[in-house]
Each structure stands twice: as C-alpha cells, then as structure tokens.
Structure 1
Amino acid sequence: MPQPQWGPPPPPQPPAPWGPGVPGAATGAPQTPDWAALADNTAHRGRRRKLLFVGGGVLAAGAVAAIVVTAVASQGSGGGKKAAGPTAPASPEPSFSPVAPPAPPNPDEFIASADKDKATLSTKTLFPHSRPVLDKRKYKRVDTATTTDCASATQGGLGSVLTDNGCRKMLRATYVRDGVAVTVGVAVFDTKAAADKAKEQSTGNITSLSDDDTPAFCRSTACRLTANAEGRYAYFTVAGYTNGKAVGEDDKAALTAGRDVAGYTFRRIRARADQQAKASVASPSTAPTAGKQKQA
C-alpha cells in the first residue's frame, strides 16, 4: 500500500476550456489551456473598455455643453430684462416767449430839440462843480453868467452867427489853474440842426469872464479857441494867461486847459441827456404797464 506523500499542495491550475472546437472536449479528456488565446481576449477587452471610457467622456462633455447652452438660452429669454422696444416720441412741452422789456429811450432825443429837453437849465445844473478835477488836473471855477442876449457875450463875428441861427440863451463859466484861465460859453438853440450850423459857421470867440480875483484875459491878445456842438447846444472856449501873455502856436498849457474844459462841458451835456432818458422810464406816465387780460 503506497505511503502518502507530505508536502505543499500543487498550485491550482486554470480550468480548461470546454466546448465545441476545443481539443478533448468530446472525450472529456483534460487539455492544456490555450494561453495565447486567453491573452488576446484580455487585450481585446481592455481596448474596448478604454474606447468606452473615451466615448463616454466625449458624450459627457457634449451633455454639459448642451446644458450650458440651454441655461444661457433660457436665461436670455426668461428672467432677464426685456429689451426696450421703440417708444413713442414725447410730446413737446409748451414754450412761452418772454415778453421783452421796452427798449430804453435814446438819450440823444432829449437834447436834440427843445420839445423834449425840459429839464431845468442853468449855470448851477450845467456847471455844478466849483473845483472839478479834469484828467487829473484840478481847476477852480471863478465865475458864471447867463444871458438871453447871446451876441453880448461874444467878440468878433460869433454874435451874428449865434443870432442868425436862433440862439436862445448863453451860459458861461470860467475856470483857472496855474495862471491859465478858460471861459466856456454854451449857446442854446431850439434844434440840433441849428446848433450844428452855428458850430460850422463859427468865427470870433466868446468873451472871457472873470471876477475880482482874476484879471481880464484874452480881450486883446492871442488865445486858444475851440468850437463844438452836442445836441441842441453849441459850446465854445477861449483859453489864455491871466497875466496877459499871448498864447503861441506851440503853447501846451492853454491848449490843455481849453481841451479839459471843453471835455468837461461835453460830459455835462451828455449827463443831462442821460438823466432825462432815465427819468422818462421811471415816470408812471411813460413807464410801460404790465399786460392784463380784460375782464369779460
């Protein structure tokens, strides 16, 4: 009787394939497994699984992209703000043209004729300053005079010119500074045209006016003369030295003094025009009234 052998059991063998076409399958005899065929089957199954994994990843990415597109599409057509459609044009608001204030009157009109030049006229209103500063030079007024006989306040041919053009009044004032004296005479006419004509035809000069402290000047010596007109006023100056010295052609002192006083007289006439123009606007009789609708 054979003795049993002790030792480690043999390793298990893989089962042999059975079935049609396998050698020994019909007889049931054990056959050696086909290891090459088994390896090919295993490799084939590995490649198929990898393709399935790759294909599945592509399908999954496509599904995610479809979900994103769907979400974007639904968000754009759903909960977002609706696009603003064309709106009807707003009806224009009614506009109201402001009522323009009346144009201020032209000051020239108030000194162009006696019809509108109604303000008080005297040496006090025309020559109000006793010590005017003219172009930074200070003068002193020494005397004034008024006469309706215009020719009596002139020398040479000026009296005839003033009378022929209808002079109504003559107002004079004398200013002195540093031994130089200037007399200005303002001849008053009814119209601007008459004053302009008297200025154009002027000849001779105004008679100088002086007081007890100022010696007579420019009565028999050469002096500086000016002639101008503004509105219905013609005004003339005569300038010279109080010591009787004749004024030369290149003399600057008499020339400057005559211009200073002539410019001052011009500004006083313009001030008269401006004051009357402003007064006409403020006057209730001439001021424009606010438009009111008539009651039915």
Structure 2
Amino acid sequence: MSFGQGGPSWGPGDSRTPDWAALADESAARSRRRKWLLIGGGALATAAVAAIVATAVVTANDTGSPGSDKNASDLPAPADLPSDTSQPQPSFSSVAPPPPPDPKDYISDARKDKAPITVDAFFPGKKVTAGDRVHAKGATNRTNSCAATTQGALGSILTSNGCDQVIRATYSNNGVAVTVGLAVFGTEAEAKKAAQQASGGIASLSGAGVPTFCRAGAVCRRTANSYGRYAYFTVGGYTSGKNVTTASKDVYAVGDDLTEFTFRQIRHRGEVQASAAAGIPTA
C-alpha cells in the first residue's frame, strides 16, 4: 500500500511491521519528482532571461531595418548649427596692394629728388671706414661752376650735358689721397651720358692737412660712374707726387672704397625719400 493521509500502511498480515520495500520505492519516486521540478524551474528561468536579453538586443538594433516599425525619419534630428556667430570672419580683398616705391625713381629726376643737396648730405662725418682701412676726410667744396672743378675736356662735357653743380671731398690714407667729385644733373639720362663721354677728369682738391697731389703732370688713377641723376668721378694718387702704376694696389684700394661709399650715399638718398613717400619711418 502507499502512504495515505493517516500514515504509512503496513505489510501483509498487518503484523505492524513496515513494508520497507514499498517505502523505499515511494521515497525514490518522490526524489525523482523533486529533481524534475528543479530542472524544469531552472530551464524556465533560463528561458525567461534569454527572452529578456533577446528583446533588449532587438530593441537596440531596431533602427529602421526591413520588417521594423522604425525608419530614419523617426530618429531625432541633430541640433541645427548656429547660422550666426559672434567671432569675426576673415575677409580678403580682391584688389592687389600697390607695389612699394622704387628708391631709384627718387634720385633719377630732379622733380622727385627734393632732399637738400649739401656736402654733408653726401659726405658726412670726418672719415670713411672700409674694413680695416680708415680714410680721413680733408677739404670739401661745392660750386655751381661745374667746369671749374675739372681738368681737360671733362669741364665742357659736364656743361654740355646740363650739369647743375659739383660737390668735391678729399680723403687720405697713409700717403694716398683721393678726391671724389659728385656732379648733379636734372635727369638720369644726362648723368649717364656725361659719365660715358668722360675725358680728362675731376681736379684734385687739397687742403685741410692734405698737400697738393695729382698735379704738374703726375700720373694718377681716374674713374667715372653714374647712378640716377648723379655722375661721380675720382682722381687718386700719392701725396709724394710719385706716379701711379697698375701695381699701386694701395691707390686702387682707397679709390674703390670711396667709389663704393659714394654710390651707397646716392642710393641711400633714394631709399629715404621712397620710404617717406610710402609713410614708412626710417632710422
């Protein structure tokens, strides 16, 4: 017999001795039922969790794929970018700026070259230094009589080309003396023509510690150049009266230094005036 509501049933003959075999079978049956209940409950719980996860995955991926109730138009639109901003925007002009003035324009024509013409404007200070050579300034002279400052044919050449005035300055260094003569014209063409036609030369200027040189037939070195409306000439030699030869490197060195210095002074004159016209401050 099986267990009833009133207690266990007894074996055959009702001897009050339990039927141990029946009890063991019934106990085993109850254990099997509990095991299957536990297994079934676990499976249901696992299935429920899997269903929740699957639902979450489908929801997260539901962005308008085929079969979905959502599409791109259902998604929230990104915030509109502002059409105005308080920051200034760069702007560029389509008009090219004018080119800076050419310094040479201001020393090529008397109508533009308005800076004062004086000895100190071209030959300032008391010396000219070139590398390790120092040339002391001696006598200076400025005159409107261009021909009076020359030797040979140069006087008539300056006059015929419209020379306005000549400034002279002499420099000396260890027995060598060089006079620079700066002839002023109205235009660049006049100055260039005078330098190209040069014959004879500028007359040496002595005084202020420099004795007479390059006179009385002494052989000296002469040069002629022009830049803008200025023609500039040099005469250089020994204060001892010795003749200059092609081997006289000291005479050539002093003459070249002063020729370069004069050119730079003329060019600087143009740069200063061009900067002033453009409103650029100069030192």
Aligning the two structures, in what range does the TM-score lie when normalised by the shorter sequence? 0.7 to 0.9
- Residue matched to 2:142: 146
C-alpha displacement of 1:121: 0.7
Contact 1:135 1:260 in 2 (8 A): no
- Residue matched to 1:204: 200
C-alpha displacement of 1:75: 10
**Structure-1 separation of matches of 2:14 and 2:28:** 26
C-alpha displacement of 1:67: 5.7
Match of 1:271 among 268, 271, 283: 268
**Structure-2 separation of matches of 1:38 and 1:121:** 143
- Residue matched to 1:228: 225
Alignment of 1:1-296 (within 5 A): 15-16=9-10, 29-30=13-14, 35-36=20-21, 38-64=23-49, 85-91=77-83, 96-97=91-92, 104-211=100-207, 213-219=209-215, 220-281=217-278
**Structure-1 separation of matches of 2:231 and 2:114:** 17
C-alpha displacement of 1:186: 0.7
**Structure-2 separation of matches of 1:212 and 1:65:** 116
C-alpha displacement of 1:274: 2.6
The superposition leaves residues 49-84 of structure 1 with CA deviations (integer Å, 9 ceiling, x where unpaired) of 22321232233344455567778999999xxxxx97
**Structure-2 separation of matches of 1:204 and 1:214:** 22
C-alpha displacement of 1:268: 1.7
Contact 2:138 2:208 in 1 (8 A): no
Q: 1:187 to 1:50 in 2, by over 3 A?
A: same
C-alpha displacement of 1:134: 3.0
C-alpha displacement of 1:178: 1.1
The superposition leaves residues 168-189 of structure 1 with CA deviations (integer Å, 9 ceiling, x where unpaired) of 2111110011111111011111
Range with bigger deviation, 33-42 or 228-237: 33-42
Root-mean-square deviation (CA, aligned residues, Å) is 3.5
The superposition leaves residues 139-186 of structure 1 with CA deviations (integer Å, 9 ceiling, x where unpaired) of 211111122232332223333332332222111110011111111011
| TM-score normalised to structure 2 length | 0.74
- Residue matched to 2:69: none
Quote the sequence identity (%).
49
The superposition leaves residues 239-275 of structure 1 with CA deviations (integer Å, 9 ceiling, x where unpaired) of 2111112222132211111111112212221232233
Q: 1:212 to 1:87 in 2, by over 3 A?
A: closer
Greater C-alpha radius of gyration: 1
**Structure-2 separation of matches of 1:95 and 1:271:** 38
C-alpha displacement of 1:213: 3.2
Aligned residue type for 2:83? S
C-alpha displacement of 1:217: 1.6
Aligned residue type for 1:85? A
Contact 2:139 2:208 in 1 (8 A): no
**Structure-2 separation of matches of 1:282 and 1:149:** 36
The superposition leaves residues 180-219 of structure 1 with CA deviations (integer Å, 9 ceiling, x where unpaired) of 1111011111111221222233333211111163222223
**Structure 1 stretches of 5 or more lacking a match?**
1-13, 18-23, 78-82, 284-296
| TM-score normalised to structure 1 length | 0.71
The superposition leaves residues 111-138 of structure 1 with CA deviations (integer Å, 9 ceiling, x where unpaired) of 1111111222121322121223233422
C-alpha displacement of 1:87: 4.0
Q: 1:55 to 1:252 in 2, by over 3 A?
A: farther
